[in-house]
Amino acid sequence: MTETAPRPTLEAVAARAGVSRATVSRVVNGGDGVRERLVERVRKAVDELGYVPNQAARSLVTRRHDAVAVIVAEPETRVFADPFFALQLRGISKELTAHDNQLVLLLTEGRDDHARVARYLAGGHVDGALVFSLHLDDPLPGLIQSAGVPTVFGGRPGWSGETRGVVYVDVDNRGGARDAVRHLTGLGRTRIAHIAGALDQTSAVDRLDGYRDVMVDADPRLIAEGDFTPAGGERAMRELLERCPDVDAVFAANDLTAAGALRVLREAGRRVPDDVAVIGFDDMLPVAEQTDPALTTVRQDIEEMGRLMARLLLRELDRRPSDEPVAPAPSSVVLPTTLVRRASA
């Protein structure tokens, strides 16, 4: 089969360029403080030999890996129902790539995997971790914290433990929800319902809070709990229709939920937006643009969220080595949302 070509080492390059290993190392790592002539000679040798540094050897001494773990607790999340996950990953990947870091993906399925993840992090294979901490009282954040690895969370972690020093990136779920509901009131709607997401996730809780901010004295029967899925949206919409037949608007916790609600409304013969106005959240294009009617929704820039998470982490990693941190510790970031008007409200 393929001959396993013995990869050239620093030694080989040094020999070919007629310099010491140290000099080659310097050149390979930026070339500062090496005379131009030598730099060129070394570069040439590197090219001719097709030298690529052995990352394992390098890590062994530098204790850096230029690798970041992305941890996704998945089975219970909507990760596999919409493109959320992929977009976030794309943002992360772009940013990491731009800084020559690798992305190690850790998908976890329940408790069994937590130990594995903890071990992996404690094993010092990666320089930091990006974590999607999607559920209240998920033990994962605690485990990670105790592994002592710099970490940035995606979404405000709903975590009852120590929160100082916890860095996260989130969108302004509460503000976005307020905007959505205000838009509905601006339309003259008064019986505005909310279909919440899975309330063990902070995003769902925050959106509900935003709804309440505007609908201070809302009829509690106007609030139904969904689970971020179309099926959940359908169920909740049926409940609402039964409990409050006079409902004239719905703010759904996300686009998928809204899609389910739209279907039930159509079945029930309610016209959208004439009889009932509907707003979603996410602006998941494949969903929001395809519903009938097209969905008015609150847009969040998911890819940017991912990119930002990576950026904060990398900044922290750059900061750490020097015992006297020059740069300030990164703090959490909350991204704005924008209302996208389409046909449904």
Residue (229 or 300) nearer to a copy of itself, CB: 229
> Under the criterion CB under 8 A, does residue 48 sit at the interface with a copy of itself?
no
Sole binder of a copy of itself in the list 113, 170, 179, 206 (CB under 8 A): 113
Question: Which residue in 236, 152, 143 sits closest to 195, CA to CA?
Answer: 236
- Smallest gap, in angstroms, from Cβ of residue 214 to a copy of itself? 30
Sole binder of a copy of itself in the list 93, 133, 201, 300 (CB under 8 A): 93
> Residue 58: CA atoms inside 13 Å, Cβ hemisphere, count?
14
How remote is the C-alpha of 85 from its chain's centroid? 7
User: 138-143: long-range contacts (C-beta < 8 A, 24 or more apart)?
Assistant: 138/73, 139/111, 139/114, 140/71, 140/73, 140/108, 140/114, 141/166, 143/114, 143/117, 143/118
Cα angle 254, 258, 260 (rounded to 5 degrees) comes to 125
Bridge partner residues of 67 (DSSP)? 102
> Under the criterion CB under 7 A, does residue 11 sit at the interface with DNA?
yes
- Smallest gap, in angstroms, from Cβ of residue 74 to DNA? 30
Cα–Cα distance for residue pair 27/45, rounded to 1 Å: 11
- Smallest gap, in angstroms, from Cβ of residue 109 to a copy of itself? 8
Cα–Cα distance for residue pair 8/218, rounded to 1 Å: 71
> Residue 335: CA atoms inside 13 Å, Cβ hemisphere, count?
22
Give the range of 48-56, 107-115, 144-152, 327-335 binding DNA by CB under 7 A: 48-56
* x/- map, 13-42, DNA, by CB under 7 A: -----xxxxxx-xx-xx---xxx-xx----
Q: Which two tokens stand for residue 198?
A: 């899975």
Contacts of 254 (CB under 8 A, 6+ apart): 78, 197, 228, 280, 281, 282, 284
Sole binder of DNA in the list 10, 134, 250, 288 (CB under 7 A): 10
> Under the criterion CB under 8 A, does residue 312 sit at the interface with a copy of itself?
no
Give the range of 84-92, 175-183, 197-205, 220-228 binding a copy of itself by CB under 8 A: 84-92
> Under the criterion CB under 7 A, does residue 318 sit at the interface with DNA?
no
Cα–Cα distance for residue pair 85/90, rounded to 1 Å: 9
Q: Which residues bind a copy of itself (CB under 8 A)?
A: 1-2, 4-5, 7, 50, 52-57, 59-60, 65, 67, 70, 74, 79-83, 85-87, 89-90, 93-94, 97, 102-107, 109, 113, 116, 119-120, 122-125, 148, 229-230, 256, 259-260, 263, 286, 290, 292, 320, 325
Q: Which residues bind DNA (CB under 7 A)?
A: 7, 9-11, 18-23, 25-26, 28-29, 33-35, 37-38, 51, 53-54, 57-58, 60-62
